[in-house]
């Protein structure tokens, strides 16, 4: 059975059983609580196939997180516009961030992953030695056979001390890495808020790519991505596209390989990732809701 059916069945459940709620940014149909599992063995990567997923866009954002970056201009320069709606003058002002320049997103994911709770000084600040480098701590532990089976390999983006310094508070809030059988690396993600049609396909791909990358970097084998969700919702404007997507038959997932092991986790490039056999249905256009 295709693992993608877990996702399609969730969409069906929301459409059939969800309740309509008026939220911060519009009307959504939602349910609370869901879990999915995706194998990463033998290079498999769960990039959804029932609509084309812009996996390179997703990867560029992931590498931006990994490098601790938080300025949207760096993504725009690569043709990535995921964060455009959250970095305008109007949106920043609505969050009380009048002192931020346009495209500055504040103490979001990359800042928390690499400099957790360091005083926010802007994307161009040198944070060396400031805050907690959660990602590097995990990498150091995974490279050490005596530490890699720790049950404390946690990375969190949810920092209550700095939520008001973020243009958008984190949706994918906490992940845990786990090693079993000596070298099998899995990742579990908890996401508080899941935009199922636009966000969820990227979150699945992003954390699966991250797991493959960390496995490669630390001399391990990627095993599984486990996805836990809180509020699972479909925006009112996305219902028609959702109804189309659930009629499509999934294709087998593609595979990914990473060309080489680089010395520093910051040094990996998009061209280091080779995706093979990605067969997919036509794209479905969904409007981004900031």
Cα–Cα distance measured from residue 229 to residue 171, given in angstroms and rounded to the nearest whole number: 10
**C-alpha triplet 158, 216, 40: angle, nearest 5°:** 75
Residue 247 CA: distances (Å) to CA of 37, 229, 243: 22, 23, 7
In this structure, the number of other CB atoms found within 10 A of the CB of residue 213 comes to 22
By CB neighbour count within 10 A (0-12 exposed, 13-18 middle, 19+ buried), where does 244 fall?
middle
Cα–Cα distance measured from residue 12 to residue 7, given in angstroms and rounded to the nearest whole number: 9
> Three-state SS for 93?
helix
Catalytic center residues: 171
107, 161 Cβ separation under 8 angstroms: no
> Three-state SS for 132?
strand
The tokens describing 122, both together, are 């802007």
By CB neighbour count within 10 A (0-12 exposed, 13-18 middle, 19+ buried), where does 16 fall?
exposed
Cα–Cα distance measured from residue 68 to residue 64, given in angstroms and rounded to the nearest whole number: 7
**C-alpha triplet 120, 124, 130: angle, nearest 5°:** 45
CA diameter of the chain: 51
Cα–Cα distance measured from residue 262 to residue 256, given in angstroms and rounded to the nearest whole number: 17
């Amino acid at each position: 059975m295709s693992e993608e059916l877990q996702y399609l069945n969730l969409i069906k459940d929301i459409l059939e059983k969800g309740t309509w709620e008026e939220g911060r940014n519009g009307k959504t149909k939602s349910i609370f609580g869901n879990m999915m599992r995706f194998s990463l063995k033998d290079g498999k990567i769960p990039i959804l196939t029932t609509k084309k997923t812009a996996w390179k866009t997703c990867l560029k954002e992931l590498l931006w997180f990994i490098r601790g970056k938080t300025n949207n201009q760096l993504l725009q320069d690569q043709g990535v516009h995921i964060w455009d709606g959250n970095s305008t003058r109007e949106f920043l002002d609505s969050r009380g961030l009048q002192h931020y320049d346009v495209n500055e997103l504040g103490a979001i994911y990359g800042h928390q992953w690499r400099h957790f709770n360091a005083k926010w000084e802007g994307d161009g600040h040198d944070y060396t030695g400031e805050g907690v480098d959660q990602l590097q701590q995990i990498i150091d532990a995974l490279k050490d056979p005596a530490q890699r089976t720790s049950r404390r390999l946690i990375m969190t983006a949810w920092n209550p001390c700095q939520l008001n310094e973020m243009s958008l508070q984190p949706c994918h809030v906490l992940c845990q890495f786990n090693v079993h059988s000596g070298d099998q690396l899995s990742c579990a993600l908890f996401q508080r808020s899941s935009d199922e049609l636009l966000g969820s396909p990227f979150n699945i791909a992003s954390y699966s790519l991250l797991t493959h990358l960390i496995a490669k970097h630390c001399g391990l084998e990627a095993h599984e991505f486990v996805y836990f969700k809180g509020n699972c919702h479909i925006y009112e404007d996305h219902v028609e596209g959702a109804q189309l997507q659930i009629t499509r038959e999934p294709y087998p997932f593609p595979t990914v390989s990473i060309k080489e092991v680089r010395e520093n986790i910051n040094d990996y490039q998009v061209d280091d990732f080779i995706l093979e056999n990605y067969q997919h249905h036509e794209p479905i256009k969904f409007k981004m809701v900031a």
